[in-house]
A and B are shown apart, each in its own frame.
Chain A
Amino acid sequence: MKFIGKKIICVTMAFAMLVAICGCKSKDTDEEGSDYDVEYVYEYVSGDNSSSSSNESTDSTEKTGNSSKKNSTTTSGSSTNSKTKSWEEIKASIPSKLKGTTITFYNWNPSNSFTGSSKAIAAFTKETGIKVNWVTGTYDDYITKITAMVASGDSPDIIRMRDTNVNILQSLQPISNLGYDFTDGAWNQELMNLYKVNGKTYGMILKDTPYFFPAVMYYNRSLISRYNLEDPYNLWKQGKWTWKKMASMCSEFVSAAGTEYEGYTMPDGGEYMRCMGVTYITYDASKSKYVSHMDDTRIVKAWQFVSKNVKEGNFSNTVYNLDGFDNGTILFHANSAISSIRAHFHVKKLISNGDLGTVPMPTVDGQKTYYQELGENIAFGVPKGAKNKEAVPYFLRYYLDCANYDMNDFYCDSQAKEVVDWCRNQTFFTNMDVLLDKSRYGDSVHDMSYLLRQTESAQIKSNLDKYTAMVAKCVNDSNKSLESLK
C-alpha cells in the first residue's frame, strides 16, 4: 500500500514535469498594470529651448469624454479676457514677505528632462525673487511619499495631481487656504470646479496652458491621399466629422487597401462612450459624489458600435498599435495630443514626413455637444502643512502660462495646434474609471474593454451587467473615503 502511494506521487511529479516543460501561460495579476493605467505627466528633452512643457502621455484609457450634465459645469468656458489680470498686475500684487522664499515642487521626473521648464522657472525667480526647489520622486511611490511627507511634517508646496480622485485629495488642502483670488479670468474655473469636494476646491488649472493634452484623432495623410479618401480636417470644418463617417471611411480603406492594412487602432474602445459624455464612473462635483453609470443605455450603445466595427474588420482588435500606425499600415489612431509634440518620438516617422494629421475626436451622430474627458495630471494641488503655500498661486500663474513658453514650434504642425486650441473651449467631464483597481476589485477597465470589444451586440448588455456590482462597490468605497474630507 505504501508503495502504491509512492508510485502515485511519482506519477504526479512526472506529470508536473511534463506540464512544466510546456511552460504554459502564466497568469499574473500585474500589479504594475494599474500604475500604467493612468496618464502621467512628463516632459521631453529637446535640444532647443523652444518649449518647455510637461506632456501628458496617455495610455489606452485616454479618450475624449463628455461633461456630465449633472455637473455644475455646463457649457465650455471661453477664454474671456475681460477679467484677466496681466502678469504685471499679478507681479505687483505679490506680498513682499514672499520675496526670497522657496517653493518646493514635488515631481516624479527630474528637472533635467523638462527642458524649457527650467527656463520658465528661472525667469520666474528673476522676476519675483521667489526660488523654486524641484524635488524628484518616483512615479510608483509618488502618492505614498506625499502621505509620508505630510504626516511627518515635511510637506512639499506643490504636487501634481497624479490621481484626480480621493486617493490624493486626502493629503491636500483647499485652495481657499492660499489667500489668492482665483476669480482672475486666467484660471479655468470650470475645470477647477470639477476638483471640488464638499464645496472646497483642491486643484488649480490655468486656461491657456501648454500642459493640456486632449484626446484627438490622428490620421495618416499619405494613406488618405493614396486611396482618395476625404480629408478628415475638411470634414471637421464642415461639421461632418462623425463616428459613422469615420467607420465608413475605415471600411472603405480596408477594402481598397487590402488585408495588411487596418482601419483604426483604438486606445481601448471606450472612447466612443466618452464622446457621448458618459463612462463607468464619473464624479459629480455638485454632490461631491462618485457616480456609477453602469445602467446608462448609452454605454451599451457605444460598445455595440465598437464591437460591430471590430467584427466587421473596420476597427482593429489590436489596441494601441502605435508602431503599426507609425509604420503606415493603419489609417486612424486616437491618442492624446501629446503624440503630436514635435520633439517626441511617438509617431516620429509620420511627423517627420508631415503625414500626421490631427483632428478632434469624431462626434456622435445626432449629438451637438463635443464632450471630452478631463485628463489626470492636469491640475496642481497644495498638500496640507505646506510651508510656503501663499507663494504657490503666483508661481503657477507664471509657470503654467503659455505666454512664457514658445508655442510656435511646439506641435508638429499648425493643424495640431488649431485642434488643441479648439478643444480648450469644449465641454469637459471627469473620468474616474481609474478607481477600478484590479487588485482590489477583481477586474480593471482593461479587462472590461477586452471583453466588450469582442462581444456580440446582443450580449453586450449582459456582459456589462457582470461588472455592475463591482463598479457599485468601488463607487461606495470611494464615496466613503470622500467623507473624510469634510
Chain B
Amino acid sequence: MKKKTKGNLDANKNKIGYQFVAHWILGLLMFFIIPIIDSIKYSLTNITIAAGELKFKFIGIENYRQMLLSDAKYLDNVRDSVSTMFSSVPIIIALSLILAIVLNQKFKGRLIARSIFFMPVIIATGVVMVLLKSGYLRVPLFNVTSGAEYEYGGLIDFNEILLKLNFPSSINGLFAKYLSNVFDLIWSCGVQIILFLSGLQSISPQLYEVSKIEGATKWEEFWYVTIPMLKDVILLVLIYTMIQLFTSLDNPVVAQAYSIMKNNQIYDLSSAMLWGYFVLVMAVMGIVLLLYKQLCLKRWE
C-alpha cells in the first residue's frame, strides 16, 4: 500500500479515508474512549457512591499498591493465570491443529463432524454454559463444587486411578490440577479449529503433489509443507487463544476482579486490578509474539 506520493492526488485520496472511518471515530469517542479514560480514573481514586454522582478522591497508585502488596490472592491468581496460559496455549493449538487436519480429510460424514466440532462456539460462548455449570444440574464432565456439591468425575476419574496406583499425593495433586483443565481445553478449541481448517484449505494441493514427487514422507510433509504454510494462521490462533484465556471468566484474576466489582461494588480496586492485569497481558503477549516471530517464522521461511 505504499505508494510514492505524487503530489496532491494521493494526499486527497487518502483524505477520503476519513469519510469511511468518520462514523467509527465518532463511535469510539462517544462509547469507548471516554469510558476507558473514566475507568483508568477510577483505578486512581477512591470512590464513594452518592446520590446522582460518584465521588472521587484522588489517591494515585494506592489501589495498585494495595492490590500488589496487601491483597491476599491477587498475585497468586496472576501467577496461576500466566502459568495456565503457558501450559494451555500450546495444547490448544496442537489439539486444534490435529483436529483440523483430521476434519480436513475426505471421509464420510465429515460435514456432520465439522458441525459437531463447531458446537463449542455455539454453546460455550453463551449463556447455556452458565446453566450447565451452575451446580444444580448433575452433569458429569462439569465438575462443580458449589450448590449441592454433586461432585462427579469425568468419563474416567483420574483422581481415583492415580490413587489406586499409589502415587504420592503431591504428584497426584499436580496431575489432577493439570488434567482437570483438559476438559475446558477441549471446549475452548472451537474457533481455533475453524481457523485451522480454513488455513489448511487455503494451502494449494500442488505443494503436496510436489512434495510427494520429491519423496517426502507424511511426517516430513507435515513439518516442511503444512506448518510453514500455516505460519500466519498459527499466529492468529496464538493471539486469539491468548486473548480468550485472558478474558474468560474462568481466569482467576478476572473472576476476582469481577467479584469485587459485582458483589462488593468496589470499583476503584477492581479497575486497578483489571488494568494492571491488562498491562501484564500486553507484555506477555508481546513477548510471546516476538519469540514466535524470531524462532518460528525465521525457521519456516
B73, A442: Cβ atoms closer than 8 Å: yes
Rounded to whole angstroms, the CA-CA distance of A370 and B155 in the bound complex is 47
A47 proximal to B (CB < 8 A): no
Rounded to whole angstroms, the CA-CA distance of A441 and B74 in the bound complex is 9
| CB-defined contacts of B134 to chain A, threshold 8 Å | 30, 32, 36
| CB-defined contacts of B147 to chain A, threshold 8 Å | 33, 36, 59-60, 320, 446
B36 proximal to A (CB < 8 A): no
Which of the segments B114-122, B195-203, B260-268 contacts the partner chain? B260-268
CB distance from B140 to the nearest CB of A (A): 9
B157, A25: Cβ atoms closer than 8 Å: yes
User: Known interface pairs A440-B259, A442-B72. Does A17 touch B144 (Cβ–Cβ under 8 Å)?
Assistant: no
**Chain B 111-141 interface 0/1 with A at a Cβ cutoff of 8 Å (1 = within):** 0000000000000000000100111100001
Rounded to whole angstroms, the CA-CA distance of A163 and B262 in the bound complex is 12
| CB-defined contacts of A163 to chain B, threshold 8 Å | 263
Rounded to whole angstroms, the CA-CA distance of A181 and B229 in the bound complex is 79
| CB-defined contacts of B146 to chain A, threshold 8 Å | 30, 32-34, 36-37, 438, 444, 446
CB within 8 A of A26: which of B50, B184, B262?
A: B184
| CB-defined contacts of A9 to chain B, threshold 8 Å | 94
CB distance from B167 to the nearest CB of A (A): 15
Rounded to whole angstroms, the CA-CA distance of A318 and B184 in the bound complex is 26
Task: Return the chain A residue nearest B90 by Cβ.
Answer: A12
Rounded to whole angstroms, the CA-CA distance of A358 and B91 in the bound complex is 55
A440, B256: Cβ atoms closer than 8 Å: yes
| CB-defined contacts of A60 to chain B, threshold 8 Å | 147-148
B135, A31: Cβ atoms closer than 8 Å: no
Rounded to whole angstroms, the CA-CA distance of A17 and B94 in the bound complex is 9
A31, B157: Cβ atoms closer than 8 Å: no
| CB-defined contacts of A13 to chain B, threshold 8 Å | 91, 94-95, 98
Which residues 226-245 of B sit at the A interface, judged by CB distance below 8 A? none
A385 proximal to B (CB < 8 A): yes
**Chain A 154-193 interface 0/1 with B at a Cβ cutoff of 8 Å (1 = within):** 0100000001001110110100000000000000000000
A437, B179: Cβ atoms closer than 8 Å: no
CB distance from A6 to the nearest CB of B (A): 6
User: Known interface pairs A30-B133, A32-B130. Does A151 touch B154 (Cβ–Cβ under 8 Å)?
Assistant: no
Which residues 175-197 of B sit at the A interface, judged by CB distance below 8 A? 176-177, 179-186
B49, A31: Cβ atoms closer than 8 Å: no
A171, B94: Cβ atoms closer than 8 Å: no
CB within 8 A of A450: which of B94, B136, B145, B153?
A: B145
Which residues 2-24 of A sit at the B interface, judged by CB distance below 8 A? 6, 9, 12-13, 16-17, 19-20, 22-24
B135, A36: Cβ atoms closer than 8 Å: yes
Task: Return the chain A residue nearest B93 by Cβ.
Answer: A13
Task: Return the chain B residue nearest A29 by Cβ.
Answer: B255
CB within 8 A of B141: which of A26, A32, A385, A484?
A: A26
| CB-defined contacts of A446 to chain B, threshold 8 Å | 145-147, 149
User: Known interface pairs A13-B94, A24-B156, A151-B54. Does A31 touch B259 (Cβ–Cβ under 8 Å)?
Assistant: yes
A470 proximal to B (CB < 8 A): yes
Task: Return the chain A residue nearest B269 by Cβ.
Answer: A477
Most buried by A among B134, B148, B155: B148
User: What is the count of residue pairs linking A and B with beta-carbon distances less than 8 angstroms?
Assistant: 192
| CB-defined contacts of B264 to chain A, threshold 8 Å | 166-167, 437, 440, 481
CB distance from A387 to the nearest CB of B (A): 10
CB distance from A480 to the nearest CB of B (A): 10
B172 proximal to A (CB < 8 A): no
CB within 8 A of A439: which of B143, B158, B256?
A: B256
Rounded to whole angstroms, the CA-CA distance of A383 and B223 in the bound complex is 64
| CB-defined contacts of B259 to chain A, threshold 8 Å | 31, 34, 437-440
Rounded to whole angstroms, the CA-CA distance of A481 and B266 in the bound complex is 9
User: Known interface pairs A33-B146, A153-B51. Does A16 touch B94 (Cβ–Cβ under 8 Å)?
Assistant: yes
Rounded to whole angstroms, the CA-CA distance of A444 and B259 in the bound complex is 13
CB within 8 A of B51: which of A12, A26, A150, A437?
A: A150
CB within 8 A of B135: which of A32, A150, A166, A470?
A: A32
CB within 8 A of B50: which of A16, A166, A318, A384?
A: A384
B154, A26: Cβ atoms closer than 8 Å: yes
Rounded to whole angstroms, the CA-CA distance of A166 and B157 in the bound complex is 41
Rounded to whole angstroms, the CA-CA distance of A124 and B202 in the bound complex is 70
A30, B52: Cβ atoms closer than 8 Å: no
CB within 8 A of B177: which of A20, A27, A36?
A: A27
B148, A320: Cβ atoms closer than 8 Å: yes
Rounded to whole angstroms, the CA-CA distance of A447 and B135 in the bound complex is 14
| CB-defined contacts of A140 to chain B, threshold 8 Å | 262
| CB-defined contacts of B98 to chain A, threshold 8 Å | 13, 17
CB distance from B164 to the nearest CB of A (A): 15
B265, A170: Cβ atoms closer than 8 Å: yes
B143, A170: Cβ atoms closer than 8 Å: no
Rounded to whole angstroms, the CA-CA distance of A447 and B146 in the bound complex is 8
A287 proximal to B (CB < 8 A): no
CB distance from B75 to the nearest CB of A (A): 13
A98 proximal to B (CB < 8 A): no
B180, A473: Cβ atoms closer than 8 Å: no
Task: Return the chain A residue nearest B184 by Cβ.
Answer: A26
Task: Return the chain A residue nearest B53 by Cβ.
Answer: A151
Rounded to whole angstroms, the CA-CA distance of A344 and B175 in the bound complex is 45
Rounded to whole angstroms, the CA-CA distance of A429 and B250 in the bound complex is 35
A29, B180: Cβ atoms closer than 8 Å: no
B158, A24: Cβ atoms closer than 8 Å: yes
Supply 5 A–B pairs (Cβ within 8 Å), ascending by A: A9-B94, A17-B98, A24-B182, A27-B177, A36-B146
6 further A-B contacts with Cβ under 8 Å, apart from A36-B147, A163-B263, are: A25-B152, A26-B154, A29-B255, A33-B144, A383-B51, A442-B76
Q: Which 5 A-B pairs have the closest CB atoms?
A: A385-B51, A33-B146, A26-B183, A153-B52, A439-B259
